[in-house]
Amino acid sequence: MPPSPRNVAVISGHMFRGSELDAKEQAETEVAIRARAEALLAAHDMGVVYGALACGADIILAETALKAGAQFEAMLPFNTERFIETSVSIGDPPGQPGKWEKRFRAILDGTHGPCTLTIVEPHDPIERNIDGYFFYGFRYAAGCALQRAAMLKTACRLIVVSDATESDNIAGANRVVADWRAHRRPFDVIPYPHRRRARPIRARGETAFRPVVFVWDGAPEAKDSLLDKLSKTVGKGLDAIEVIHGDGRRSICLLAQATAQAITAASEAVAMARSAKHPLRVICDFGLVLGASLRPDKTLIGRLQAAGDLPALPLDLVLATEAFAAQAKFDHGNDVALVPVGRAEVVLSTKDRARAVVRSRPSLPIFAVEPAKSGADTP
């Protein structure tokens, strides 16, 4: 009889800032975190672990998981070099430059065990919305962990290093705990024993990330296009942006406020296509789509995976990129069904392509989506 699949975890934790913790304090804190993490990973039989790799808690938890024989799925919000600048090097204590980067690269290089890398946004991050990248980057990792557990029919829980205070930002370990608890999902908190420097609270509503729906005309030679009619009915109340493919095919991109709204709009588009016997490819995606004025930005929209269409995938179905599927899974849990139907190529930044040692997924899954139950979405 084959062994039962091992469980899935997603990790998060406070960074060790070199300006706040010296080398001795970091070493003492690491010993305590590692001991507690070893016990939790063993007690819950974690075989797959998802998370980022910021200095301090993230890296310690990832190393511990790999040592315990788990597979680590590294998920960074943007390219590795910029991530090192924002979230890794800042942990170096005085006199130890490169301490955390060395450990960061060792994990990605597979030194400690099997590790894959997914970069949520392959382009350089826009500084004005940097917290949004971290916030949705964690939800990407968590959604993938929840989907993996659902497919394996195992449990998924959060392991987080936190000082258990109220969140002072739209991102970070304390926001992670609050959102995870709101969904009544199981988690374990490893205490962070130091007082962290308070930071200004930033409004969560300022994020420029949104769920979107691309509706591609599956019959571009037809004179009576369904797209214009669709954008006036299905897209009523939503911003609708026209996108033109390199071969001349048209698409309408509908911007939603929540994943449930996007799934509903996509389902209505599919229903219209079937009724009119006019084939459409309908793809839900997620990412940075609002510009400096928080208005739709065509350049940003054009960077999304589904902005180039995904040929060879089914028509007249609600499809979703992994970016959207992860957010929907986080929002709705088992109330949304995600069925893999194909894969699409990943486009990495020039910097990441140049680093042959970075192990990256050659492609990402595409899912067919069944509508989420009403009222399940988070704001």
Query: 297 is written with which tokens?
Result: 């930005």
CATH architecture of 208-344+362-370: 2-Layer Sandwich (3.30)
Q: Residue 334 pLDDT > 70, yes or no? A: yes
193-219: pLDDT as tens digits: 987 766 555 544 457 899 999 999 887
Q: Is the pLDDT of residue 355 over 50?
A: no
Kindly list the domain boundaries of the chain, sorted by start residue: 7-191, 208-344+362-370
* Topology of the domain comprising 7-191: Rossmann fold (3.40.50)
**7-25: average pLDDT:** 94
β partners of residue 320:
284, 367
Residues 241-264: tens digit of each pLDDT: 988 777 777 889 999 999 999 999
Q: 29-39: per-residue pLDDT in tens?
A: 999 999 999 99
Instruction: Please say whether the beta carbons of 199 and 214 come within 8 A.
Output: no
- pLDDT, position 5: 76
159 in Cβ contact with 11 (< 8 Å)? yes
Amino acid identity, position 372: A
C-alpha 71/C-alpha 92 separation (Å) is: 26
Determine if residue 333 is left, alpha or beta; phi over 0 gives left, psi from -120 to 50 gives alpha, anything else beta: left
Mean pLDDT across the chain: 87
